[in-house]
Amino acid sequence: MSLIYVHCYVPGAFLIPFTVMLFLEGIPLFLVELGIGQRMRLGSLGVWNTIHPWLGGIGITSCVVTFFVALYYNVIITWCFFYLFNSFQSDMSDPQSPLPWANCPMINNTEVPECEKSSETAYFWYRTTLDSSPNIDELGDLKWWIVILLLLAWVVVFFIMMKGIQSSGKVVYFTSMFPYIVLTIFFIRGITLKGASAGLVHMYTPKVEKLLDPKVWLDAATQVFYSFGLAFGSLIAFGSYNTPDNNCVRDVILVSITNAFTAIYASVVVFAILGFKAMTNFDKCLVNNKMKLFQHNLLPNASVSTDIYESTLANLTAINATMDIDLETCDLSQQLNQV
């Protein structure tokens, strides 16, 4: 998923450095780690100590890094559990709404100002899920629902890993296939949404000037390390379970192609939905502007077509009191950059 976050702020241009780094560092290091694990039949600590005792620190460091990354990703699993359980609830203010984050909460028949200024999903994330403090200097209290779900996440991980490769290997059959089922469902739904095409065009529109930014290449290299699990020691450990005559080159090529395809496939799904969100915000902006123009008697009604609205907007001058109208800038490209 980290590819999606990086891809969001450098759309179009990121695929080029990602592909370059995939061949320069991803596939070679993947082959090295899998190969030495298969050859020496040892884990990360044993492999590096065998190569040279002074390199044993690399194995120790990889274990420490893996521990902290596991802490980080278990928090993400916790948030997933929270959304999963809340998806079985409906919005109390609107029984017809399928999800609690579909609408802003109402107080005295008025939407909460904070939610109205942001969005329904952002309000649910920051207020209902995290209940985040106003600033980073205020730690806030522990949220009992997050604490319980974090404990649940660790319990699930424990039961998956408690028997080592015997239990985790069986779980992989589910964890490797289920995401593709979910992605396909989201893909079918996403491409049917209004604005999906705009999101996909935005995703694959190249921004060549971004290729001159060293940070883009650094992020691409970082993404390759995360997507393959390089330098964490896990590939060495998995390779140690292969038979000595296993064709690890074939495995590396197959996994690399599958990994790259999955990353692009997931990006298509996400950007189709982001395009829908941007189009929704764009339409909301148009509705607000039409209402303001209607209130100033510059439109016959607030439901006129977009062509009439744009024609009226182009003919506005300072003489007809436009200075009193606080119109928003409705730009789909800007909305795509913001979502």
The 10s digit of each residue's pLDDT in 172-185 is: 888 888 989 999 99
Q: Is residue 96 very low, low, confident or very high in pLDDT (cuts 50, 70, 90)?
A: low
**How far apart are alpha carbons 157 and 164 in whole angstroms?**
11
Residue with tokens 């896990």: 234
Asked if residue 319 has pLDDT above 50, the reply is no
- Please give the pLDDT value at position 154: 96
227 is in an annotated binding site: yes
Record the pTM. 0.80
- Please give the pLDDT value at position 287: 83
Asked if residue 36 has pLDDT above 80, the reply is yes
315 is in an annotated binding site: no
Cα-to-chain-centroid distance, residue 170: 27
Helix axes 196-204, 248-295, angle to 10 degrees: 120
Distances (CA, A) of 310 to 117, 198, 290, 330: 25, 20, 10, 11
**How far apart are alpha carbons 36 and 74 in whole angstroms?**
29
Asked if residue 295 has pLDDT above 80, the reply is no
Minimum mean pLDDT among 2-11, 198-207, 232-241, 249-258: which range? 2-11
Contact by Cβ (8 Å): 71, 64 = no
Domain extents for the chain? Answer: 2-338
Cα-to-chain-centroid distance, residue 149: 20
